[in-house]
């Protein structure tokens, strides 16, 4: 065996061009397969790091091709039949109506109903150091519906997600470690986001990275009601005169056990 190995090494060194091509081909093949498995593992094999992922349903809608949206912000894909279109993003007004209907219906199949969406490129100021981070906005039932308990402090609630409420923010565990040195005294401290002062109320568990697209890991989470303060005129919530864009993912906790990450069509 050792003689064969020495012979093989001599042949590879003798034909350096062939050896280089072979090594590069193997490196590219192994790298591509590793990347593909990582995506499949994240999307198909692993469930969300929450209490009961099999109870969660992600909502989608289907409509005729004549259906028109006021604007779309986000990435989604919903396979539909011929002559229809579909998406998994909703307008805030639609979310409110669905939430009110669900709450007013005793036989509703949902025990919790909540919304969430990314807020990219938020300017965070920690001390005198500014940086651009990714965040997300969530409705008050987000953490309750997912069954996620913060490792420090408390989560955003319905009371926080109302117009005029105090501005609060929850940090991801990674951001808390990187920017605050895992200091438990961070609870109650202010954090400036896009020049607005928020109060830190909680830190998420280490394994929880959110429910958005693969590899999108928000460093901060704020209530939906605070979104206009970060985006200003670019707010996606809209006004009574101007409907907002379709940008929210909607999810709920089913009262009946369902297959993991099941989709419900609205």
198 and 118 in one domain? yes
Pairwise CA distance, residues 194 & 122, whole Å: 6
126 and 28 in one domain? no
242 and 131 in one domain? yes
Q: What is the mean pLDDT of residues 82-102?
A: 85
Q: What is the mean pLDDT of residues 240-247?
A: 73
pLDDT top residue among 55 and 218? 218
Alpha-carbon dihedral angle through residues 54, 227, 103, 253, given to the nearest 10 degrees: 0
For residue range 153-211, list pLDDT tens digits in order: 999 999 999 999 999 999 999 999 999 999 999 999 999 999 999 999 999 999 898 88
143 and 41 in one domain? no
Pairwise CA distance, residues 211 & 138, whole Å: 11
110 and 13 in one domain? no
36 and 146 in one domain? no
**CB–CB of 256/110 below 8 Å?**
no
H or E segment and range at residue 111: strand 110-126
Across 50-64, 224-238, 250-264, which has the greatest mean pLDDT? 224-238
176 and 230 in one domain? yes
**Residue 45 has what pLDDT?**
41
- Cα-Cα end-to-end distance for the chain: 65
Pairwise CA distance, residues 33 & 54, whole Å: 29
157 and 97 in one domain? yes
Q: Average pLDDT of the chain?
A: 83
96 and 222 in one domain? yes
16 and 123 in one domain? no
196 and 107 in one domain? yes
Q: What's the whole-model pTM score?
A: 0.76
Alpha-carbon dihedral angle through residues 104, 249, 247, 177, given to the nearest 10 degrees: 120
Which range marks the domain in which residue 137 is found? Answer: 53-265
Q: Distance from CA of residue 240 to its chain's centroid?
A: 27
User: Is 50 exceeded by the pLDDT of residue 260?
Assistant: no
Q: What is the mean pLDDT of residues 17-21?
A: 80
pLDDT top residue among 115 and 67? 115
Q: Which pLDDT band, with edges at 50, 70 and 90, does 36 fall under?
A: low
157 and 26 in one domain? no
Number of domains in the chain: 2
């Amino acid at each position: 065996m050792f003689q064969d190995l020495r012979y093989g090494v001599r042949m590879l060194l003798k034909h350096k061009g062939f050896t280089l091509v072979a090594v590069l081909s193997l490196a590219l093949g192994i790298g591509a397969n590793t990347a593909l498995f990582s995506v499949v593992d994240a999307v198909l094999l692993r469930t969300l790091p929450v209490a009961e992922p099999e109870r969660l349903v992600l909502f989608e809608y289907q409509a005729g091709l004549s259906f028109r949206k006021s604007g779309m912000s986000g990435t989604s894909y919903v396979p539909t039949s011929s002559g229809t279109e579909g998406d998994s993003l909703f307008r805030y007004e639609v979310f409110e109506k669905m939430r009110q209907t669900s709450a007013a219906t005793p036989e509703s199949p949902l025990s919790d109903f909540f919304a969430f969406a990314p807020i990219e490129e938020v300017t965070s100021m920690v001390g005198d150091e500014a940086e651009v981070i990714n965040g997300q906005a969530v409705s008050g039932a987000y953490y309750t519906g997912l069954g996620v308990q913060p490792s420090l402090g408390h989560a955003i609630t319905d009371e926080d997600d109302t117009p005029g409420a105090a501005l609060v923010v929850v940090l991801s565990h990674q951001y808390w470690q990187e920017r605050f040195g895992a200091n438990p005294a961070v609870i109650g401290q202010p954090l400036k986001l896009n020049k607005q002062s928020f109060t830190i109320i909680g830190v998420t568990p280490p394994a929880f990275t959110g429910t958005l697209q693969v590899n999108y890991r928000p460093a901060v989470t704020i209530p939906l009601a605070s979104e206009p303060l970060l985006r200003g005129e670019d707010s996606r919530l809209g006004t009574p005169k101007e409907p907002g864009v379709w940008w929210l993912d909607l999810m709920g906790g089913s009262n009946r056990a369902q297959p993991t990450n099941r989709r419900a069509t609205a």
